[in-house]
Amino acid sequence: MISALAWVRKGVAAERPSRHEMTEEEYARLQTEAASEINDAKRELKQTTDTELLNDPALKDFDLEHYDSENSSDEEAQDGPHIFSNIKGLSFYADDEQDPLINNGEEDAELEAEEAEEERVFATDNLLLVAKTEDDISSIDMCVFDPESDSLFVHHDFMLPAFPLQVTWLDYRVGRKAQMEGSGNYVAVATFEPRIEIWDLDTLDAAYPDLVLGTMDKKALRKARGKPHKEFHTDAVMDMSWNKNVRNLLASSSADTTVKLWDLSTAVCVQSYEHHGDKVQAVQWHPSDSSVLLTGGYDKRVSVFDSRAPGAISWWKVDADVESVMWDVHSPNHFYVATDSGLVRYFDVRMGENSAPVFTLVAHDEAVSAMDQHPHMAGMLVTGSSDETVKVWDVRNKPSMVMSRNPDVGSVFSAKFCPDEPMLLAMGGSNGESKIWDMATTMQIRSVFGGAAVASVVVEEKPMVGIQNDEDKDDDPENTHEAVIAEMRGSGAQPNDDDSDSDESMDSD
């Protein structure tokens, strides 16, 4: 499944990414982690009786009951230093360069040149970050979209330790390249683990993130699991927001009910807020006021406050658990709130706390699990839902739905406009596919947002472009939006099978 998406700004990625070489410290870290996993496995094994092991159908073929009585003298004899002593004509080379089976000379050089050209990233490339989980293995794919050939392919990827909930692109240098001049190319990843990993997108084959925000102390986490802590998260990190005005600040919200501010230059939590009464699902910095935060949680409340004076908080009550919050970049005194009930509300912060929404969209029959606004065209709003539809809204005057479409990605978990080519919309969902929709070729959108001159020009609508990560679409009910949310809530709730059609409407207050 695709749980989160993020675009990378054009021209920031290194043209030729470097390959990571493991250091002695990383090798030592691998050994330590492996030893820790082995010890954990041994502890689990002690909890399983010998009888249970011997009766396990999967282990019967190994005849474990007579394992110690097997005669392994022949095998032991082969373990000595002369294992190849009876092989005639065996050649040894002091240097791999002299071995013709290893060194193919010009052939190897040509292959390396081809690989280097394939790894090249052009300044004109549109790069999309895709958080993917397949067969309980999670990763981040950096994909390249070529609008000329309408192709989307994976450039490189890296593995994650847990299911990813959110990804955020940032250009603030951290870790090994922290002292280098200029901006970087990084992705912050929030997962079910109580930590945030920040990876360098310009490095291939990296085994570890460049920076980790949060504690790696397992004992401290076990002791404080789920309880608010001043210095680190103790439960899943559900959302993040990078401060583009104060670039070393990253805000995060968590299932531990806290919102935290992280200083990327020191990897330290500089402030922790505990104003919500339940899991905090969403957080976002104000687009122009660099100290103001917008948050929403499972306590069915939304807050706006100055991070420098957290005691003065303005609250708004909504009807259901908050799915996402978003400042209106075209009118920064307003913000959107999407909820689990399928509604989208639009508030004016100047009206004061608990004021009625300016308008309410009855957007979907099920949870609004994705929401984004056009970065340049005021009033163009996109929502996605676990009802498997993506809808485009015109909210400039009297809000109304422009069109509804099923992008065939399953339950829609993420929908993001491209910042450099803003008529491109990326979508991802439960069936493991990410799709890109060129909305500039869709007649309904051209006629509403393009004006008479644009609408009069007839263009051929392009099909959506995507990569299917699995050969077969994943219909596993565990990949539905309700199941993921239920896991975060710690309940055993089952997915909702109600597939009834939606009647879109709008209420003005």
Residue-level pLDDT at 456: 63
59 DSSP 8-state letter: G
Q: Cβ contacts of residue 410 below 8 Å, gap of 6+?
A: 1, 388, 429, 430, 431, 432, 433, 473, 474, 479
pTM given for the model:
0.79
Distance CA 304, CA 292 (A): 7
Residue-level pLDDT at 223: 86
SS (H, E, C) 388-411: CCEEEEECCCCCEEEEEECCCCCC
Which region holds residue 410: left if phi is over 0, alpha if psi is between -120 and 50, else beta?
left
Residue-level pLDDT at 373: 97
Tell me which residue of 475, 507, 477, 505 sits closest to 364, measured CA to CA. 505
Contacts of 96-102 with C-beta under 8 Å, sequence gap 24+, read none
Residue indicated by tokens 């929709």: 437
- Burial of 81-90, coded b for 16+ CB within 10 Å and e otherwise, reads eeeeeeeeee
* Tens digit of pLDDT at every position of the chain (509 positions): 999 999 999 989 988 888 877 677 767 777 777 777 777 777 777 666 556 666 667 666 666 666 666 554 554 444 555 555 555 566 667 676 667 666 666 666 666 667 767 778 888 889 999 999 998 899 999 999 987 888 899 999 999 989 999 999 999 999 889 989 889 999 999 999 999 999 999 999 888 899 999 998 888 888 888 789 999 999 999 999 999 999 999 999 999 999 999 999 999 999 999 999 999 999 999 999 999 999 999 999 999 999 998 889 999 999 999 999 999 999 999 999 999 999 999 999 999 999 999 999 999 999 999 999 999 999 999 999 999 999 999 999 899 999 999 999 999 999 999 999 989 999 999 999 999 999 999 999 998 998 755 666 778 888 999 885 444 444 455 555 556 556 555 544 433 444 334 344 455 45
Residue-level pLDDT at 471: 46
Residue-level pLDDT at 498: 41
Residue-level pLDDT at 374: 96
SS3 330: coil
Residue-level pLDDT at 491: 44
Residue-level pLDDT at 397: 87
Residue-level pLDDT at 486: 61
Distance CA 56, CA 431 (A): 34
